Structure 1
């Protein structure tokens, strides 16, 4: 510890979940590397491609810069204070309890509801293979069996979760490398694809198709579509911050978390930007399968549409294998939803805003009650056949639509508060064990402004063509958070942003917080 660091200790009266630090360096790196190669990349990238090569790539590069800053900010704070669900607790520590509880409840519900979505998608992808009539007649049973297996996995010690994610990440990386190589070879040497290569960058396609057509002025219309592209890019990148949620369960967190953070640049450039660049060569932005609503089976992923465009037979072994990888990626994403959601729940228990019952752990450090509550919400997907439940399910999905963006926003605000608290307590930022290598405070403001613009831009189409359902979908989360936080602030008599003098940066400080 630095000599200039005041040795003040604050007594922490909050309950602590007795989780165990069982995630190794390999686990952490693999969770970091594979954690965002999932549904967002394989399926969600489809909407981005409609905007054409230039706007798609610029959107991804812009959001990549934001995400790189966010993971660095989370890294600095998590290595300084490696607590359960770190980024979930930081809002309580650095901003305020009203904002902390509102944002964490929304974030936790979003993990649980996304689990329900993933379970439905898993069933859709499974339909690619013909399992016979029994499979189609027993959708509820199939989804329940997948849910049961995933829940049981999360009831074992956390190193088992790490092992499973590590194996699946190897498959995902092999898939991406294989897909890139096959795609490049077919583009250079194949003759099956008529609409591949830089033909898709011609003057008619390079700026994409305006899939949002509400404004007569073509320049204004293009601006709306650029904003839309930024929004869809954000949803693809969501959960990039999630590796830090593990910080309360990582061995030697001060060594292993920085390693995981270093992988972020590689995975952003390789997995996202390079893959997107190749997809713009393989698929014209006016491809009917991108525009259509076929969410089932093989045609739902641009990664497979691209190979079909290059002449690969849609029933070939190669596509069977790649579809299998997309399936296990979705299973991995659903598995992670339970893990991250339960750790977010623990962070609320540790801040005294959720019953202590949900923080109880087994002798091997598994928060069983938190896991069961989080995963049980995913069972909504079984009931979505009933009209009233489906309406409720859609409402929850809408509520979660911007939860990841709000988490990024509050990570940025937490980081600014963290830096101010260091100055207030006469702690030299450069003496922290882990320090990002670029101007973090400038990027905090850049990210805060960007996210606010993107959240407003999410539903900008409603200013020309109002649709109540779309308006609620775009703005419900933000409105619930603002109204809830202001109400709680008034009822509890607590400020929305706590004074710097009230921020406790000593309790839970790591013994490795400083160089």
Structure 2
């Protein structure tokens, strides 16, 4: 299907107020700040955190793991504040590709948008599969195909509900995960204080087996390798926090709700992740063999491992139920974020125009349908050969978030140059100003790029051609998308003096609540 560039709607209409209700690409501003918070939390806190944090502890040890999560949190902060400044001034659905297209390079926006869309669409398939595996914890003979089919129908239907109802549902699903994390943190504090069958733990495991673990190779080199491996894993755990920016185009009064939601989401996720990693290192030793389990249900969760060591027998079923909630919440966010990214691509002329179409309630039905359809790839898991193909596809989603983070910081630098070139004052014209710019954005670009390039470093220590392409397929796809678009359209880099800083802007003097009227 041919893709062509078109004149922006801001140029066509000559206006600067973003429409928010109606048909033909007009989304409704029905999301409040708390909805944006929980959409991002729903995307970020999933099985990767509830189960994957155990492997992180085993690779790096309690202190190495904690430092890695804190450090990646600083990288996420640079992305979130840069995104906040742009999304507050220009609240656009599926913002990442739109900002890159308008402020840096149309080819960059094309590559970022399609890679980001596919990563969330294929993650929807992963979430459906994970739901089946989680339910099999209670009944191993249950047909996973039935679970995939049921939840595919349910969450496709949910994403056709008005966005306000979708936001409420996501808020309640995500709230259960937050409550679980808080409850487990209280349990871990009690366990470290001596209420478990092992007695008072305090910082016992920081001494034996030690603060850092060796990974793949012995000595200090092995400790650094473990730290770096967890650095990569931590970045993947945090991904989804940026989804708060995807919903900016459907937020009520974005001038207030967007920056507040972005910063609240960042601090909430950072505090929950870092606190849990810290407490996990207190109550579970890094050399516990259960941490390296390859299971996908509650038996592999470090939360359950800690409870088992404390002598609590009833917790696995509870944790598995929470894991199911986490998976379903993630599935809900996957379709939403993927569909809005597709809307942004179509709105910038980088996808067929049909994907901007909405129904009377403002639902982008074509984008939801295509995103949801990719979730049917979950049925590949019903055969062994299909499962191998499915795992390769999932590798694309792993690094796509890091590439998006780097692209967001780069887009901010382009936005900053355009604002200066066109006489926009950061002090008087911007509703929100991110601190310490442009150094904040440079910091984010550097470390996101470094982690992206090195995330498959273990392949070079123990070479495997299959593992190499598995680790770097997303980066290869991104380069191919960018280079292919550049070769076909030969689009130049955006001139800051001509960058579109009008389309999507809300004139608060005429529309104080930012409803797009």
What residue in structure 2 maps to residue 110 of structure 1? Answer: 119
Counterpart CA distance in 1 for 2:95 and 2:256 is 16
Give yes or no for the alignment of 1:22 onto 2:18: no
Counterpart CA distance in 2 for 1:181 and 1:147 is 35
For the residue of structure 2 that corresponds to 1:431, the secondary structure is: coil
Give yes or no for the alignment of 1:501 onto 2:497: yes
CA displacement, residues 148-188 of structure 1 (integer Å, 9 cap, x when unaligned): 11111111111111111111232222212211112222332
Residue 392 (structure 1) shift: 2.7
CA displacement, residues 244-263 of structure 1 (integer Å, 9 cap, x when unaligned): 10111111111111221231
CA displacement, residues 243-293 of structure 1 (integer Å, 9 cap, x when unaligned): 110111111111111221231353134311111100111111111111222
**1:140 maps to which of 141, 145, 163:** 145
CA displacement, residues 203-224 of structure 1 (integer Å, 9 cap, x when unaligned): 53311231x33xx7x3333333
What residue in structure 2 maps to residue 98 of structure 1? Answer: 107
Unaligned runs of 5+ in 2: 1-9, 513-517
| TM-score calculated relative to the size of structure 1 | 0.90
The 5-angstrom pairing of residues 253-272 of structure 1 reads 253-272=254-273
Residue 437 (structure 1) shift: 5.1
Residue 387 (structure 1) shift: 4.4
Q: Could you tell which deviates more after superposition, 233-242 or 395-404? A: 395-404
Q: Could you tell which deviates more after superposition, 264-273 or 398-407? A: 264-273
CA displacement, residues 436-479 of structure 1 (integer Å, 9 cap, x when unaligned): 45203112111111112111221222333211121112222112
**Are the aligned partners of 2:41 and 2:269 in contact in 1 as well (CA < 8 Å)?**
no
**1:200 maps to which of 186, 202, 205:** 205
What residue in structure 1 maps to residue 506 of structure 2? Answer: 510
Counterpart CA distance in 2 for 1:124 and 1:101 is 35
Residue 399 (structure 1) shift: 2.2
**1:435 maps to which of 425, 432, 437:** 432
**1:467 maps to which of 446, 464, 474:** 464
Note closer, same or farther for the CA distance 1:384–1:87 as it changes in structure 2 (3 Å cut): same
What residue in structure 2 maps to residue 159 of structure 1? Answer: 164
The 5-angstrom pairing of residues 345-360 of structure 1 reads 345-360=342-357
What residue in structure 1 maps to residue 309 of structure 2? Answer: 309
Counterpart CA distance in 1 for 2:34 and 2:451 is 35
Counterpart CA distance in 2 for 1:427 and 1:172 is 42
Unaligned runs of 5+ in 1: 1-8
Counterpart CA distance in 1 for 2:292 and 2:201 is 17
**Are the aligned partners of 2:30 and 2:250 in contact in 1 as well (CA < 8 Å)?**
yes
Residue 54 (structure 1) shift: 1.4
Note closer, same or farther for the CA distance 1:454–1:362 as it changes in structure 2 (3 Å cut): same
Residue 195 (structure 1) shift: 9.4
**Are the aligned partners of 1:93 and 1:504 in contact in 2 as well (CA < 8 Å)?**
yes
Counterpart CA distance in 2 for 1:432 and 1:277 is 41
What residue in structure 1 maps to residue 374 of structure 2? Answer: 377
RMSD across aligned positions (CA): 2.4
Counterpart CA distance in 2 for 1:262 and 1:465 is 40
**Are the aligned partners of 1:224 and 1:460 in contact in 2 as well (CA < 8 Å)?**
no
What residue in structure 2 maps to residue 72 of structure 1? Answer: 81
What residue in structure 2 maps to residue 6 of structure 1? Answer: none
Counterpart CA distance in 2 for 1:98 and 1:302 is 42
| TM-score calculated relative to the size of structure 2 | 0.90
Residue 49 (structure 1) shift: 1.1
Note closer, same or farther for the CA distance 1:508–1:437 as it changes in structure 2 (3 Å cut): closer
What residue in structure 1 maps to residue 96 of structure 2? Answer: 87
**Are the aligned partners of 1:195 and 1:309 in contact in 2 as well (CA < 8 Å)?**
no
Note closer, same or farther for the CA distance 1:188–1:435 as it changes in structure 2 (3 Å cut): same
Note closer, same or farther for the CA distance 1:308–1:99 as it changes in structure 2 (3 Å cut): same
For the residue of structure 2 that corresponds to 1:271, the secondary structure is: helix
Residue 414 (structure 1) shift: 0.2
Counterpart CA distance in 2 for 1:447 and 1:16 is 36
- The size of the alignment, in residue pairs, is 494
